[in-house]
Chain A
Amino acid sequence: MLAWLADHPLAAAVLALVALGLVFGAVLGYAAERFRTEGNPVVEQINAILPQTQCGQCGYPGCRPYAEAIAGGSAEINQCPPGGEAGIQALADLLDVEAKPLDAAHGEEAPVKAVAFIHEDDCIGCTKCIQACPVDAILGAAKQMHTVIGSECTGCDLCVEPCPVDCIEMIPQAETLKTWHWPLPDPAAGRVEIIATDRLQDRAA
């Protein structure tokens, strides 16, 4: 056999290539089985970046459908106003594409997070807002006053539109001692410098 191979270099080369192909094919095939990934992890990763506001401003009924659309290539990464520029940047990093500015057609990034609040005196108990809430953050029953569970509200404002008596208001969340923190210094301006007493007077005025 070896002598025959030595006599027929062309056949030997072909045989060697075929053998290599078989070996590598087997290794790859084994690896594909051994390290198989379940589902479509890209959708999961995209969904993990999305803010889960479920507001539908992107044009899809919730964050997961939007994530699926991005993964499927049918949606742009700049359609999520609650995620804002940071969210777009994270998506761009994940998908290795160019970050784009937020598409204004889908809304603008809110500077402060808001939470829905039901003016309970006006609520007529129609349950329309309950049906609209994507995260079941509104409590109530037919002909009973409803109320928003503030800690569960994502601020999507989907409940505001359906209310027949317009008793739902989006209230921006005020800064508290727990949420306040020093801002990142502006390297161009040097150290943050506010004359505090003047600032207090401004606020009082």
Chain B
Amino acid sequence: MSLLRITSPHAHGPLSTTRVMQTVLLATLPGVAALVWFFGPGVLVNIAVTSFFAIAFEAAVLKLRGRPVLRTLDDHSAVVTATLLAIALPPYAPWWLLAVGAAASILLAKQLYGGLGYNPFNPAMVGYVVLLISFPVQMSTWAAPRGLAAEVPGLVDALQACFIPASFDGATMATPLDILRQNSDQSLAALYAGTPQLGAWGGVGWQWVSLGFLAGGLWMLYRGIFTWHAPVAMLAALAALAALFYDGGGPGSGGSPLFHLLSGATMFGAFFIVTDPVSSAVSTRGRLIYGALIGVLIYLIRTRGNYPDAVAFAVLIMNFAAPFIDYYTQPRSYGHARGDRP
């Protein structure tokens, strides 16, 4: 009998990091499908190209750092980061934009800090913000959604847009959030009537994309990938603020709660970005606070800030605060009096 000597526990639960990452990838499917339906296959090209660069950068850095390359790549975290970044970027972005984004995510935000688990900031959001600040024109070129555009681009268009400079000639359109932010004199009812993009709730196409990500998020919640605290707190805080400042839908209104929940990156952010365990608060109470403050920041930046969407900035700002939140939300250990904190 050849016997192994291993410390307890000998049994292990079914979850593994690789499995978690795979689940996250699968959970993006409904949202990605909605994106493809409304905006064409650009997002798929985005995902493929960004993933390629992300894996290449990650492998190169791991090699340089003398870490096991294949074993580390096996955790799928680079692909997850790339996918989330690619979903956040406008479809039909040129390849170099994707490469720069992947570099910022993988090199700057992740490996420079020591790789998976050590990054204080969400890598995908760092990549997004770097691109948003550096290339504002490319970053605000969103294709028009199906139903408003004459036709939705095909796969060939998407590949051309990516690899041949300045070749994208599809219709582009301001996003619903842009429209609402630039409005200053019309009541919401008049604005909705005058702008077809706004659709019924959160913008044509956008609302379905958001619902797609919501579905994926709920599935992950069901699978126990994360706890409900942070996303629910974020959505509740955002909706509550929107309701508070709805102002009867007058010209000064910040938009309805439903609009805020279903437009822009709200749902995507709530279930795919805010739930990123590495850069968020850890304790249950901490996650409630973390999520709620992100919701507050999103509303503030959307209605008062300079950028159309705010999820990335809100998340990054709260990433700063996560260790601080963790420190003040430490649970009381068994057998200890309340408040004796280390």
Contact = CB atoms under 8 A, between A and B. Distances in A.
Do A and B share a direct contact in the complex (Cβ within 8 angstroms)?
yes
Contacts of B1: 197
A193 B5 contact: yes
B3 interface: yes
Interface in A125-152: none
A195 B6 contact: no
B3 A195 contact: yes
Nearest to A194: B5
A195 B2 CA distance: 6
Contacts of B2: 195, 197-198
Interface string A172-205: 0000000000100000000111111111000000
Nearest to B7: A182
> What interface size band does chain A fall in?
10 to 19
A193 B6 CA distance: 6
Nearest to B1: A197
B6 A197 contact: no
Contacts of B7: 182, 191-192
B4 interface: yes
Interface string B1-39: 111111100000000000000000000000000000000
Interface string A101-139: 000000000000000000000000000000000000000
Nearest to A200: B3
Interface in B104-159: none
A191 B10 CA distance: 12
A77 B320 CA distance: 38
A196 B3 CA distance: 6
A192 B2 CA distance: 16
A198 B2 CA distance: 7
Interface in B243-289: none
Interface string B194-205: 000000000000
Nearest to A199: B5
A78 B7 CA distance: 36
B2 to A, nearest CB: 5
Contacts of A194: 4-5
Interface of A: 182, 191-199
Given A193-B5, A197-B1, 19 more contacts: A182-B7, A191-B6, A191-B7, A192-B5, A192-B6, A192-B7, A193-B4, A193-B6, A194-B4, A194-B5, A195-B2, A195-B3, A195-B5, A196-B3, A196-B4, A196-B5, A197-B2, A197-B3, A198-B2
12 contacts: A182-B7, A191-B6, A191-B7, A192-B6, A192-B7, A193-B5, A194-B4, A194-B5, A195-B3, A195-B4, A197-B2, A199-B5
Which 7 A-B residue pairings sit nearest by Cβ, starting from the closest? A196-B5, A194-B5, A196-B3, A195-B2, A197-B3, A197-B2, A182-B7
